[in-house]
Structure 1
Amino acid sequence: MDIQSLTAELSVAPQLLIADLRAVAEAGFRSVICNRPDGEGSDQPLFSEIERAAQAQGLQIRYLPAESGKVTDQQGAAFGALMAEVPKPVLAYCRTGMRSTTMWALSQAGQRPLPQIIELASKAGYDLKGVVRRIVNGGKTPVEVADATHEVVIIGGGAAGIAVASSLLARSPQLDIAIIDPADIHYYQPGWTMVGAGVFDAKTTARTMGSVLPRGVHWIQSAVAAFEPERDAVILDGCRVVKYQQLIVCPGLKLDWHGIEGLPETLGRNGVTSNYRYDLAPYTWQLVQQLRRGKALFTQPPMPIKCAGAPQKAMYLSADHWRRAGVLQDVDIQFCNAGPVLFGVADYVPALMEYVKAYGIGLNFGQTLVAVDGPARKATFMKANADGTKEKITHDFDMIHVVPPQKAPDFIRVSPLADAAGWIDIDPGTLRHKQFANIFALGDAGNTPNAKTAAAARKQAPVVAHNLLALRGAVQGEARYDGYGSCPLTVERGKIVLAEFLYGGKVAPSFPKWLIDGTRPSALAWYLKERVLPPLYWQAMLKGREWMAQPEMTK
């Protein structure tokens, strides 16, 4: 834990983990305030989990969430009221501690001199100059005064953000680039399916952000609060302003755990798990190993979601383990899919159906998970009937692998960059924003109709890099993204159906059929997934090496 003291009564910290609460109590804290909304990060425990752990240590705990960079005067006042109410000393936390510090600063306005507020925050490692500007400007941040200016600013340090930064530097090594991301850790998320099957250790999918950022790129470790595209500016957490000549937006998407009633209260226990969270993928493997008989549910929410094959991957690998353990006949496996088909590209369905039949999996289409009662081991679904009516049905379970509904991050959905559905509105070929010519987007937050996979981001990165440099007059021609996406469907340990396709579901294999027939289970495809793709991700995609990723060019 990185705990920083603001006053004798209040300290602040980045995200707490469940295991931290004992140390918090032993350090003498009597109360905890959570200022971070659920669902901001894939390694973030939910507040309900933190609450249980805090109460077990005899700590008072309160929930006052604020969107990053959107702390209001009212929230500042509410923070002050909580501080007056709860036992001291208090530890407040958010993603980085900035929101907690900002709430405290706003609560102190008029009670302490501004220089003292700024000095106390600075000693704790938090820059509140932007908050000062906001206080003295009636709540507004003047974007004409920038804290930093860069030629290219990239929002998001995930697979897409780092890949496009590396692609740009490979073409223009002197380019001034900044990546804005508050996270300390970068994750190889495609590996979490393998963690949930006991193939990978979770720690191998995580590296420090500083170790994977391209050399020479400026890292602004903060969260974006808002966009001012007319002024070529973004507003950061803490009201700081960064200006740009070109902007690339790739913040990923948001997992809406609260979109399913009861899920936050039971996630990670009572047999409820998900490979979509770093700390829960090992729990998936634990449940699979422990289950010897009973009912296992695997769910898939309405599209779009990241890696649409991941819900099935977890199911097939679990079934394969039960088959190897000799208990498959005693496990009732049910796949509850909100969609109408097993997989969106029909060419791959026959091979998948062979495994569905071999594992005895029950297929339940048109069923959307809406509630989970963990202690009762019951899951409620909204079923869409053929006649257009809907009804609620309930399934019992001994274990359930949940995939939450997904949407664009909050700061994207409410921004001028978003379409009516909340996704970044970009041209599907050039990946340039349809309204703002100096803004590009790639990765999961765009509204292009491709599969949201790391393989898609790998193909998109050189397209954005080339087109941005063409806009700057550094190169000629226009690059176009063809919608490529890849989904290695792990149908059993040692075999994969390697689905590769373009816009419109057109099959687009990377290898000759005699080497890997993507429509059939392949041991070589498993070798690629297990041994080749991880180093390809770390050493090629994130390094700007574009093997088999060169974009299609037009004059």
Structure 2
Amino acid sequence: MLALGTRSVLRHRWTRFASTAAPSSYKLVVIGGGASGLAVSSTLSEKLGKNEVAVVEPATRHYQQPLFTFVGGGLKSFGDTYRPMADVMPPNAQWINQAAATVDPEANTITLADGSTVSYEYLVVAAGIELNFAGVKGLESAIGKNGVASNYSPKYVEKTFEFLQNVRQGNALFTMPATPIKCAGAPQKIAYLADELFREKGIRDNVAINYYTALGKIFAVDKYADAMNAVAKSRNINVNLFHDLVEVDGSAKKATFKVLGSGPAAGESVTVPYEFLHVTPPMKPFDFIKNSALANTAGFVDVNQYTLQHNRFANVYAIGDCSSLPTSKTAAAAAAQSHILKHNLLAQIQGSDKPALEYTGYTSCPLVTGKHKLVLAEFSGYSGQPHETFFFNQANEHAFSYWLTADVLPSIYWNSMLKGTWTGPSAIRKFANPTSSN
């Protein structure tokens, strides 16, 4: 009997050979092998049958990105965050181990990076969003050294904890850009973990922690904004609104911000010396989406915010970070969206007259504030109103919320969400918070 590792390698090699040898035509093609793409393809490949569904995904590792904050804070190992893509790919789906280069929704075709073409009857775009380190002058040459790190990249996330441990005094800066980003709470979470680390080392009085956000609030939803402002104040973390990082001088260890908004300093530049700099890079839609007929004016896949169906091409859907859905881009949002998309798309494929389900904008952002403390923000990005699963006030720091996020949700992610069986906590909410009192 083959060992598990050997089976994984052989499966990986066979999948790569099979996928690159005969990409052709499929009932459904899913672009993206991230959380949302696998949640959709796992279920629909079972429903539609073997090799009716293809997944276009160039990566050979799948990362559970919500864990990157814990790695950057020294609370989990980087090895906890990933598995071989071959091990999480749905067994009934064909893995096309290529990047999408162009999409022609008029012809129902995708051109791959190697020049070959795949055709589809139905398309789900689940490509995520692209990190744009080049969007900040000097950042590409500074990142990974000069005290500059980012929890958003698997290449640099381990540098965060390494560089934090080297800090003895000076400024520790944490940034949030003006562009849409995935996991909008992550830029400030690492600031709270850094504060805790500096206190444990007895150097907190020697280090000024500054959080710079290009936005006008520390968090979009007022209930959680009030909570996070209180946390920042209690930790003596300076919150600077309307400050967008525009340049990093790694050799001089200086960061320059442009002041946004309409205040008296709007348009001015502010340069700050740093000892440590955590950068949340600006993010953008992938070019193959932005340059296609699928995109809206901002470059995201233009879909109906309730049904997730494309506004022009009826056989196209989108989910997650690449979509135009006006809610926070999180794994929790993708889980809830996957249920809506799969129901609506399958009904269309089967010619069913089932009424369409509608997505309400639900999303969640677990805001880690310490080793065993967390504010569990749950809300609708459409209404801006909290939509909490548990009976207690989730805007309060809570050890239960930390345990749920750090220990329970990773297991749900690997064992249920990627297999298409986890679509969010709505069923739990009926019992844990039946009156929606908070």
Measured in 1, the distance between the counterparts of 2:159 and 2:373 equals 23
Measured in 1, the distance between the counterparts of 2:273 and 2:159 equals 20
Pairing 1:154-233 to 2, within 5 Å after superposition: 154-169=30-45, 171-172=47-48, 176-233=52-109
2:3 aligned residue: none
**CA offset digits 1:382-424 (Å, max 9, x no partner):** 1125148411110010010001111101111111100111111
Shift in alpha-carbon separation, 1:294–1:361, aligned structure 2, 3 A:
same
Match status 1:420 vs 2:293: no
**CA offset digits 1:250-283 (Å, max 9, x no partner):** 1111111011111111110010111011121111
1:472 aligned residue: 349
Which TM-score applies when normalising by structure 1?
0.71
Match status 1:250 vs 2:111: no
The one-letter amino acid paired with 1:442 is I
Measured in 2, the distance between the counterparts of 1:248 and 1:473 equals 16
2:238 to 318, 341, 362: 362
Shift in alpha-carbon separation, 1:418–1:548, aligned structure 2, 3 A:
closer
Measured in 2, the distance between the counterparts of 1:127 and 1:380 equals 46
Shift in alpha-carbon separation, 1:520–1:549, aligned structure 2, 3 A:
closer
How much has 1:350 moved relative to structure 2?
A: 2.5
The one-letter amino acid paired with 1:463 is I
Pairing 1:56-75 to 2, within 5 Å after superposition: none
Measured in 2, the distance between the counterparts of 1:333 and 1:300 equals 14
Q: Do 2:335 and 2:424's aligned partners in 1 also have CA atoms closer than 8 Å?
A: no
Measured in 2, the distance between the counterparts of 1:418 and 1:397 equals 39
Measured in 1, the distance between the counterparts of 2:301 and 2:90 equals 25
Q: Do 1:166 and 1:542's aligned partners in 2 also have CA atoms closer than 8 Å?
A: yes
Shift in alpha-carbon separation, 1:229–1:257, aligned structure 2, 3 A:
same
SS at match of 1:528: helix
The one-letter amino acid paired with 1:398 is E
The one-letter amino acid paired with 1:315 is A
The one-letter amino acid paired with 2:269 is K
2:391 aligned residue: 512
Q: Based on CA coordinates, which of the two structures has the bigger radius of gyration?
A: 1
Note the residue ranges of structure 1 that are not aligned, 5 or more in a row. 1-124, 130-145
The one-letter amino acid paired with 1:466 is H
SS at match of 2:322: coil
Shifted more, 285-294 versus 266-275: the winner is 285-294
The one-letter amino acid paired with 1:483 is G
Q: Do 2:51 and 2:94's aligned partners in 1 also have CA atoms closer than 8 Å?
A: no
SS at match of 1:486: strand
How much has 1:192 moved relative to structure 2?
A: 0.3
Measured in 2, the distance between the counterparts of 1:499 and 1:375 equals 38
1:528 aligned residue: 404
2:378 to 475, 490, 500: 500
Shifted more, 390-399 versus 474-483: the winner is 474-483
The one-letter amino acid paired with 1:512 is F
How much has 1:167 moved relative to structure 2?
A: 2.9
2:219 aligned residue: 343
How much has 1:203 moved relative to structure 2?
A: 1.2
Match status 1:455 vs 2:344: no
How much has 1:168 moved relative to structure 2?
A: 2.1
1:394 to 241, 247, 271: 271
Percent identity between the aligned chains? 39
The one-letter amino acid paired with 1:481 is Y
Match status 1:540 vs 2:419: no
Q: Do 1:128 and 1:238's aligned partners in 2 also have CA atoms closer than 8 Å?
A: no
Q: Do 1:371 and 1:381's aligned partners in 2 also have CA atoms closer than 8 Å?
A: yes
2:8 aligned residue: none
How much has 1:545 moved relative to structure 2?
A: 1.3
Note the residue ranges of structure 2 that are not aligned, 5 or more in a row. 1-16, 428-438
Shift in alpha-carbon separation, 1:126–1:379, aligned structure 2, 3 A:
farther
Measured in 1, the distance between the counterparts of 2:19 and 2:323 equals 31
Q: Do 1:195 and 1:201's aligned partners in 2 also have CA atoms closer than 8 Å?
A: yes
Q: Do 1:236 and 1:242's aligned partners in 2 also have CA atoms closer than 8 Å?
A: yes
Measured in 2, the distance between the counterparts of 1:127 and 1:545 equals 25
Measured in 1, the distance between the counterparts of 2:296 and 2:31 equals 18
Q: Do 2:143 and 2:149's aligned partners in 1 also have CA atoms closer than 8 Å?
A: yes
The one-letter amino acid paired with 1:239 is G
SS at match of 2:162: helix
SS at match of 2:378: strand
Q: Do 1:500 and 1:509's aligned partners in 2 also have CA atoms closer than 8 Å?
A: yes
Shift in alpha-carbon separation, 1:509–1:466, aligned structure 2, 3 A:
same
Match status 1:437 vs 2:314: yes
Q: Do 1:167 and 1:461's aligned partners in 2 also have CA atoms closer than 8 Å?
A: no
How much has 1:354 moved relative to structure 2?
A: 2.3
Measured in 2, the distance between the counterparts of 1:438 and 1:422 equals 19
2:11 aligned residue: none
Pairing 1:285-304 to 2, within 5 Å after superposition: 285-304=161-180
Shift in alpha-carbon separation, 1:548–1:425, aligned structure 2, 3 A:
closer
How much has 1:550 moved relative to structure 2?
A: 6.6
The one-letter amino acid paired with 1:340 is G
Shift in alpha-carbon separation, 1:452–1:294, aligned structure 2, 3 A:
same
Measured in 1, the distance between the counterparts of 2:388 and 2:23 equals 47
Q: Do 2:289 and 2:295's aligned partners in 1 also have CA atoms closer than 8 Å?
A: yes
